[in-house]
Amino acid sequence: MQNEKTFVIIKPDGVQRTLIGEIIRRYERMGLKMVALKMLVPTAEMAERHYTLDPEWLRKVGEKSIASYKAKNIPAPSDDPITLGKKVLTRLVKFVTSGPVVAMVWQGAHAVGIVRKMTGGTEPLSSDIGTIRGDFVLDSYQIADVSDRAIRNLVHASGSVAEAENEIKLWFKPEEILNYRLIQDAILYDVNLDGILE
């Protein structure tokens, strides 16, 4: 379980806000181990493939958006999740290809769930304080829809172990993912604490 991996992208807004170090620091101090890292400007093809790896994503993203409008008692721009999802995809491709991003693989026990928790909910307006999206950015579904752009929420993080596996395969070659031991792995995972006292 301590080898669970998750995929993270610091999106163009995170790079432009000079938050690369802050974001990495947060995952790192949790005890997660960085096992792959690269900076690049994604192509439109990569961005689109990334978001359509899960054939259900279009519908899910549309449903989430509609639910968020409902919760705030504001009419959604459309009642059809797929229509909304397609719009979001177009906006996202434009956003993610607009400049450099930092792509990473983080490893550790429950890496997927822990990183999602630290990253926070999709919409910065309602993501919890203490999370990356809740602490450093102030966007919302509403502002994004009015301006016909993607929600700027600094980070992408895989939503499930299966999603992580597919995303890692898309963004990294197997040899780019490093297998190594950190000294701190012992205090995080070893059954025995032998070796602490001299």
Positions that interact with ligand ADP (CB under 6 A): 61, 64-65, 88, 91-92, 122, 141, 144-145, 150-151, 153, 156, 159
Tokens representing 29 are 């101090």
Contact 57, 51 (CB under 8 A): yes
**122, interface contact from Mg ion, ligand ADP, none, CB < 5-8 Å by kind:** ligand ADP
Footprint of Mg ion on 147-166 (CB under 5 A)? 159
Q: Quick one: 61 or 112, whose CB is closer to ligand ADP?
A: 61
Q: Is 113 one of the binding residues for Mg ion (CB under 5 A)? A: no
Q: How far is the CB of 107 from ligand ADP (least distance, A)?
A: 20
Contact 106, 115 (CB under 8 A): yes
Q: How far is the CB of 54 from ligand ADP (least distance, A)?
A: 9
**64, interface contact from Mg ion, ligand ADP, none, CB < 5-8 Å by kind:** ligand ADP
DSSP H/E element including 80 = none
Q: How far is the CB of 157 from ligand ADP (least distance, A)?
A: 7
Q: How far is the CB of 30 from ligand ADP (least distance, A)?
A: 18
> Who's near 30: CB < 8 A, 6+ residues apart?
108, 114, 118
**144, interface contact from ligand ADP, Mg ion, none, CB < 5-8 Å by kind:** ligand ADP
Contact 165, 92 (CB under 8 A): no
Strand ranges of the sheet holding 155-157, from the earlier edge strand across to the other edge? 33-40, 101-107, 5-10, 155-157
**150, interface contact from ligand ADP, Mg ion, none, CB < 5-8 Å by kind:** ligand ADP
Q: Quick one: 138 or 178, whose CB is closer to ligand ADP?
A: 138
DSSP H/E element including 157 = strand 155-157
> Who's near 124: CB < 8 A, 6+ residues apart?
133, 134, 137, 138, 139, 140, 151, 152, 153
